[in-house]
Amino acid sequence: MKSVLPVLTVIGAIVLFWLAAVVPMNMHLVADQAQRDGLVVMPETPVERQEYGGIGLSLRNLHLVPLTYDFVRPRLPSPQQVASEMYDTIFDKKITSKRSLVYHGWVTLAPTLLGFVIGTSLGIMLAVGIVYSRVMDRSVMPWAIVSQTIPILALAPMVIVVLGSMGIQGLFPKSLIAAYLSFFPVVVGMVKGLRAPDAMQLDLLRTYHASGAQGFWALRLPASTPYLFASLKIGISASLVGTIVAELPTGARAGFGARMLVGDQYGQPLVSWAALFAAALTAAALVGLFSMIERITLKRMGMSAA
């Protein structure tokens, strides 16, 4: 609880920086518009204004500063514009409406969750295989580690189109990306977790004459729980990012990624920014949810959350 005030301070500093940046970022556009509306603008022609930077122009036209905060098509929207656009599209639109962010959020969230469940289950199974089979460990594990250094996310849009051309559409292609991205963090984390019990503990089970299966359920699996949660938190945010990137350049009609692109292409920056922040909130909510489950589970298992 003692970190609430510092966190608020840092967030406040970021918002202040944003507020300060809005003026110079939008000043040229606002000055052009103000001149068309018959207001006095200091250097009188747009060509002369181009010679000034954003800050210089703002200092010469202090009376225009308030206008930069509610310009219709800003280069950088102000925080209150983004907030009101988000409020508008989340609460004031019907959920079924094509302009509702809740609708687009669900379009993105559904494949993310499906893919996450698939990727996590396969990842845990592969991790068990790697821990119990020497051959799997030696041949697959190096590739699992190398694969994390490959920018596979950049290819997500291509995968969507290839699958689409094979007649596979809808939820599945995006889930595939989400599954792939959550798969390897879970494999690597779970292998580490299942190997976490030390020789002493394994020996103790051997003196109890425990079978392999008992050793797995009573020792290895519980011991791997903290590692599993760490991987799950990485995996869920990677899945969400994957789904959004998959939606970005493929001409998807719905979802956060599609909204970001639509706002960009049709000159509605507010739509892009609202989608961006909504995606951020979704990611935060998912990671927060897993942190909560982690804390409760570890507490009940008698391990303190790290």
- Residues of this chain that interact with another protein (CB under 8 A) are 2-3, 5-11, 14, 75, 134-135, 137-143, 146, 148-151, 153-155, 157-158, 161-162, 165-166, 233, 237, 240-241, 244-245, 248-249, 256-257, 260-261, 264, 269, 272-273, 275-276, 279-280, 283-284, 287
Beta carbon of residue 218, minimum distance to another protein (angstroms, whole number): 27
Closest contact distance (angstroms) between CB of 142 and another protein is 4
In whole angstroms, how close is the CB of 192 to another protein at the nearest point?
13
Structure tokens belonging to residue 46: 């747009």
Min CB(148)–another protein separation in Å? 7
Nearer residue to another protein within complex by CB, 52 or 256: 256
194/244 with CB nearer another protein: 244
Concatenating the DSSP letter of every residue in the chain gives -TTHHHHHHHHHHHHHHHHHHHHHHHHHHHHHHHHHTT---SS-SHHHHHTS-HHHHHHHTGGGHHHHTT-SS-SS--HHHHHHHHHHHHHSS-TTSTT-HHHHHHHHHHHHHHHHHHHHHHHHHHHHHHHH-HHHHHHHHHHHHHHTTS-GGGGHHHHHHHHHHTT--THHHHHHHHHHHHHHHHHHHHHHHHT-S-HHHHHHHHHTT--HHHHIIIIIHHHHHHHHHHHHHHHHHHHHHHHHHHHTTTT-SSSHHHHHHHHHHTT-HHHHHHHHHHHHHHHHHHHHHHHHHHHHHHHHTT----
Residue 135 or 213 with smaller CB distance to another protein = 135
* Token output for 161: 């189109």
Smallest separation (angstroms) from another protein to the CB of 265:
8
Least Å distance, CB 38 to another protein, is: 29
Judge whether 243 and 234 are in contact, CB under 8 Å.
no
Q: Which of 123, 255 has the CB closer to another protein?
A: 255
Q: Which is nearer to another protein, 47 or 135 (CB)?
A: 135
Give least dist CB 113 to another protein, A: 16
Nearest to another protein of 89, 272 (CB atom):
272
